[in-house]
Structure 1
């Protein structure tokens, strides 16, 4: 079978001929690596940007395989944004295949990152957006990049950024209002993979997971057994599925520990427009409400 990488490279020249005409004369053509980032870019850019997301709604940015259409969109972009910190391992390959001449803006530059052990190595947790405190850094980096690309609309980007920063502060305060009064021994939940580290750090919630930072990893039988014993020992009462990855392993662990389902969390992608998390703000508040409700139930 011919590999997708070869197909991608072969299809690029034919697609490039159709990517030269901008959709709107006064609108920046922007590419974002995944939907959470794309929404924040849209909030800052407003009517002056047209954002295309590479990884779509309910998609997994760890296991994403770029298509020729993604190469076409990147080639045509005036500005491209990635979160960084190892999240988009496929991006360099896509840049090479597409012929994109720019350098993607790494919006997580400046975030106070956390590290953890992954298979004996110290790695940086890329899931920075699960705390709105970190997304404030995103907003500053996005505003700067858009203003440099389109100086004429810099004042609009600044006003949009300031308004969105107020929303982020309100989101952070909302989460603290939900969790600060919960006893520490009740702030524990089981999820599919280790994507809530920044959320946990900000709101003092412990997340246990069978998989590490990436859904591409596999949990060994010994790791799963150890996690089951930890869940029993710590009295974890609730498990959550994630919208963008396989739920089977976490369901097996929950069955072995008698943990009860708390619902579905949106971790690395937004829902579609009809779902409960079509924007970053709605995604974050939805996750907070789901987790807080599970804690209240277990109490």
Structure 2
């Protein structure tokens, strides 16, 4: 897999000066009835196609997800009754720094249902949604749904509990938008939760029951919701995790503390985001391996390109489970 370039220490503006807020919002306003695809793809990786076959009541809900991890879930919950376009669908793109295009504005303008992560993670998406406020469109803000306010950890797709909360809400919203196909949406949800996410649910349960309380270290805050959901004990200071996640410089004190945790083998496993391997993170990975501490990886967005949410998460959870088994001998 090709890793994304490391984020710069100072983030680029979320809004492109070349494009300009006015230009994009104007494009959205002028194309309020457009259903054109953006540079993103539908959640099954095929731009302009339905996500999967369904039992056809004839209505197809136009869905736009800011990020493909939510788009993948939305697509599978809607089947042939939805057409899902994910704006962020490239493993090399950084959702924090994404600069929306006029095509993105047209796509959002044609949406009947949108999903954004919120919590400051995709502020650019909020600007696009503002152009169509009052249009009758239904919007889902994941942060609002799970009760995480601005300044909190935005990486909610790594929280198993939050993932299931999103599944419940998407299905409920689909049923309101297309009541005639409510039974299909219930069936799709049941299949997704009990069968499609079967391996994901089992791994979460197995890791929690077997390794709860195991101390781990991590490169950034993306790992924190996962550690919480699995019952693992995060020893890395949150100030370091947040700094790396936000592209700022960690303090010398935090780096020294982490070096001590690694050299003293206070952590059993080190987990890092391979799409954001800053020099500090690379050094910690090197030190962890030298100390005999197993290293596991995660990524911020679906990898490889076109992967489903469940395949991506199961691969990462399996890697983490192996690292924990190696570290603990159980």
Matches within 5 A, 1:95-174: 95-96=129-130, 101=135, 102=137, 104-111=139-146, 123-167=151-195, 168=197, 171-174=200-203
Q: How far apart are 1:246 and its partner, in Å?
A: 3.7
Question: Is the counterpart of residue 7 in structure 1 residue 35 in structure 2?
Answer: no
Take 1:83 and 1:11, find their aligned partners in 2: how far apart are those partners? 20
Which residue number in structure 2 is paired with residue 118 of structure 1?
none
Alignment: residue pair count: 284
Which residue number in structure 1 is paired with residue 98 of structure 2?
64
Matches within 5 A, 1:20-31: 20-21=34-35, 26-31=59-64
Take 2:283 and 2:187, find their aligned partners in 1: how far apart are those partners? 48
Matches within 5 A, 1:1-299: 4-5=16-17, 7-8=19-20, 9-10=22-23, 13=26, 16=30, 20-21=34-35, 26-58=59-91, 59-96=93-130, 101=135, 102=137, 104-111=139-146, 123-167=151-195, 168=197, 171-182=200-211, 184-185=213-214, 187-190=215-218, 192-207=219-234, 208=236, 210-212=240-242, 215-218=245-248, 219-236=250-267, 238-256=269-287, 258-259=290-291, 262-266=295-299, 268-273=300-305, 278-299=307-328
Which residue number in structure 1 is paired with residue 41 of structure 2?
none
Take 1:18 and 1:92, find their aligned partners in 2: how far apart are those partners? 16
Take 1:81 and 1:149, find their aligned partners in 2: how far apart are those partners? 14
CA contact (8 A) 2:109 2:132 kept: yes
* CA RMSD in angstroms, aligned pairs only: 3.3
Q: CA, structure 1 residues 281+151, in 2 after alignment: closer, same or farther (shift >3 Å)?
A: same
Q: How far apart are 1:41 and its partner, in Å?
A: 0.6
Poorly superposed stretches of 4+, deviation over 6 Å: 22-25
More displaced 10-residue stretch of structure 1: 20-29 or 146-155: 20-29
Q: Which secondary structure state, in structure 2, belongs to the residue aligned with residue 73 of structure 1?
A: helix
Which residue number in structure 1 is paired with residue 7 of structure 2?
none
Q: How far apart are 1:261 and its partner, in Å?
A: 6.2
Q: Which secondary structure state, in structure 2, belongs to the residue aligned with residue 236 of structure 1?
A: coil
TM (norm. structure 2) is 0.73
TM (norm. structure 1) is 0.79
Unaligned runs of 5+ in 2: 1-14, 37-47, 51-57
Q: How far apart are 1:164 and its partner, in Å?
A: 1.8
CA contact (8 A) 2:294 2:327 kept: no
Q: CA, structure 1 residues 214+65, in 2 after alignment: closer, same or farther (shift >3 Å)?
A: farther
Take 1:12 and 1:108, find their aligned partners in 2: how far apart are those partners? 23
Take 1:175 and 1:60, find their aligned partners in 2: how far apart are those partners? 26
Take 1:84 and 1:18, find their aligned partners in 2: how far apart are those partners? 23
Take 2:132 and 2:146, find their aligned partners in 1: how far apart are those partners? 29
Q: How far apart are 1:296 and its partner, in Å?
A: 2.4
Take 1:95 and 1:152, find their aligned partners in 2: how far apart are those partners? 27
More displaced 10-residue stretch of structure 1: 200-209 or 252-261: 252-261
CA contact (8 A) 2:263 2:287 kept: no
CA contact (8 A) 2:76 2:192 kept: yes
Unaligned runs of 5+ in 1: 116-121
